[in-house]
Amino acid sequence: MSLRNCLRKTHLQKTHRAVVNNFFQCRFYAASAKPATPAQKPTVQPKSSCPADTVLPGLNYLKNQPPVLALPDEEYPPWLWTVLLPKELEDDGPGGRKERMERRKENKQRIRERNFMSTQ
């Protein structure tokens, strides 16, 4: 009996709930709309340790080929600067490629750990 009394909501709790629900049913007008910025990957500023017009030795392996020179940073494709970072896969949803790749990665890691533990 007393337990049920405890579980029954007090008047204060009910009014609070009503206020909160009402709050979410009210409409608000934003004071100022934020400029809609699409979610951008952090743009990597190309800043190569290799200045333009450096000779790249050994890459002119054909006869009578002029020496290969490094170009200025801007002339290289943007993906080049992210090649050292792990590859970011697009989120395809539940059955998508990203989930499959991550699952394979986890499985491989699990096998590696299991093999290692079997040697311990």
Give me the residues that bind other proteins (CB under 8 A), please. 46-50, 54, 56-63, 68, 70-71, 76-77, 79-81, 83-84, 87
Residue 80, CA atoms < 13 Å, CB-side half-sphere:
9
Q: Which of 77, 80, 72, 78 is nearest to 43 (CA)?
A: 78
Q: How far is the CB of 47 from other proteins (least distance, A)?
A: 7
Least distance (Å) between residue 94 CB and other proteins:
26
Q: Which is nearer to other proteins, 68 or 99 (CB)?
A: 68
- Token pair belonging to 90: 């697009």
Virtual CA dihedral for 97, 102, 108, 113, nearest 10 degrees? -170
The minimum distance between CB 114 and other proteins, in angstroms, equals 22
Give which of 31, 32, 68, 38 is closest to 53, Cα–Cα: 68
Nearer to other proteins, 21 or 49 (CB): 49
Nearer to other proteins, 21 or 45 (CB): 45
